């Protein structure tokens, strides 16, 4: 079973990397003629260079995370992690949440350096980054808190249902997940986006007139006079 698990992890990793490389190999494809007048060649080249740098960084990050996972499997670190969770709580459901949370924390720490490099090096060079170190740290903390709240808020009832109902819990779990997704989508625009972005009200322009109103908004934002 151990070798089967390692093999599955390796195969999934190889498939993921292969698909990513195939996408990368098509990076020099020309802009389709039907939209060639929409894209500026220089801006397109800049976007392409940025995308390729992000691609290679993401690939290295995937390799590192996969190596960490395989090391955890080969060195028997998952049982030790489970032992830590067992020592922190006597409740089997809480133990499971702690186990998953500890491994997620390790993954987050491993990914932190790659995320910071992308934000303050790659995006900085291409003029995309307006984030300060203070804002970056605050956003990471917010992401961590939200992950704990939302993750535990979904996993705990799922584990509870399975513990109480067994296989029949799949039906109730499906209903719970669908409800959860619906609630998250509603809260996304009302709460979560506001935690990470400063929103400005849309200009009071009627959109019932069609494309002309959209052009008016664009002209106003760009400082042009509406024709």
CA–CA distance, 23 with 15 (Å, rounded to integer)? 12
Q: Residue 111: what pLDDT? A: 92
Quote the domain boundaries for residue 58.
1-24+40-99
Q: What confidence tens digit (pLDDT) does each residue in 39-84 have?
A: 777 777 888 888 888 888 998 999 999 999 989 988 889 999 999 9
Residue 70 lies in a domain: yes
Picking from 146, 142, 118, the residue whose alpha carbon sits closest to that of residue 52 is 118
Instruction: Please report the pLDDT score of residue 215 as a whole number.
Output: 56
Residue 76 falls inside a structural domain: yes
User: What is the DSSP secondary structure assignment for residue 30, as one 8-state letter?
Assistant: P
What is the predicted pLDDT for the residue at 22? Answer: 80
How much is the average pLDDT of 158-184? Answer: 89
pLDDT at 205 over 90: no
Q: Which residue has the higher pLDDT, 101 or 166?
A: 101
Position with higher pLDDT, 138 vs 215: 138
pLDDT score recorded for residue 97: 93
Q: Which residue has the higher pLDDT, 199 or 43?
A: 43
Residue whose C-alpha is closest to residue 112's, from 136, 78, 77, 81 = 136
Q: What integer pLDDT is reported at residue 110 of this predicted model? A: 92
Over the chain, what is the mean pLDDT? 82
Closest CA to 197 of 146, 104, 107, 135: 135
High-pLDDT (> 70) share of the chain, %: 83
Considering 103-107, 131-135, 217-221, the range whose residues carry the highest mean pLDDT is: 103-107
Residue with tokens 């009832």: 157
CA 88 to chain centre: 29
Residues in the chain: 227
pLDDT, position 132 = 87
Q: Does residue 8 sit within a domain?
A: yes
Taking the alpha carbons of 127, 133, 135, 137 in that order, is the dihedral positive or negative? positive
Residue 26 has pLDDT above 80, yes or no: no
* CA geometry: angle 146, 12, 57, nearest 5 deg: 60
- Most confident range (mean pLDDT) of 16-30, 153-167, 182-196 is 153-167
Give yes or no for residue 99 having a pLDDT over 80: yes
Residue 212 — very low, low, confident or very high, per pLDDT cuts 50/70/90? low
Looking at the whole model, is its pTM more than 0.75? no
Q: Is residue 80 domain-resident?
A: yes
- Mean pLDDT, residues 124-128: 84
Output the CA–CA distances (angstroms, integers) from residue 193 to 2, 87, 115, in the order listed.
42, 37, 19
Q: Name the domain count of the chain.
A: 1
The reported pLDDT for the residue numbered 227 is 46
Q: Is residue 219 part of a domain?
A: no
More confident residue, 144 or 222: 144
How much is the pLDDT for 44? 77
Q: Write down the pLDDT at residue 226.
A: 46
CB-based contacts of 147, cutoff 8 Å, min separation 6: 104
Whether 194 is in a domain gets the answer no
């Amino acid at each position: 079973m151990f070798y089967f698990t390692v093999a599955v992890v390796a195969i999934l990793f190889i498939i993921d990397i292969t698909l990513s490389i195939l996408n990368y190999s098509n990076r020099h494809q020309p802009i389709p003629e039907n939209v060639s007048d929409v894209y500026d060649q220089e801006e397109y080249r800049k976007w392409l260079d940025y995308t390729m740098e992000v691609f290679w960084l993401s690939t290295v990050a995937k390799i590192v995370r996969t190596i960490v996972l395989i090391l955890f499997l080969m060195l028997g670190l998952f049982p030790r992690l489970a032992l830590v969770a067992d020592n922190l709580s006597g409740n089997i459901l809480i133990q499971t949440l702690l186990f998953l949370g500890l491994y997620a924390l390790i993954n987050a720490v491993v990914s932190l350096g790659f995320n910071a490099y992308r934000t303050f090096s790659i995006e900085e060079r291409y003029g995309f980054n307006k984030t300060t170190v203070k804002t970056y740290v605050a956003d990471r903390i917010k992401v961590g808190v939200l992950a704990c709240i939302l993750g535990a808020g979904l996993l705990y009832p799922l584990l509870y249902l399975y513990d109480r109902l067994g296989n029949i819990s799949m039906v109730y779990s499906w209903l719970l997940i669908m409800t959860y997704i619906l609630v998250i989508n509603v809260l996304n625009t009302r709460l979560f986006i506001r935690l990470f972005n400063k929103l400005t009200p849309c200009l009071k322009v009627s959109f019932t007139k069609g494309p002309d109103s959209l052009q008016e908004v664009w002209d106003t934002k760009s400082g042009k006079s509406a024709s």
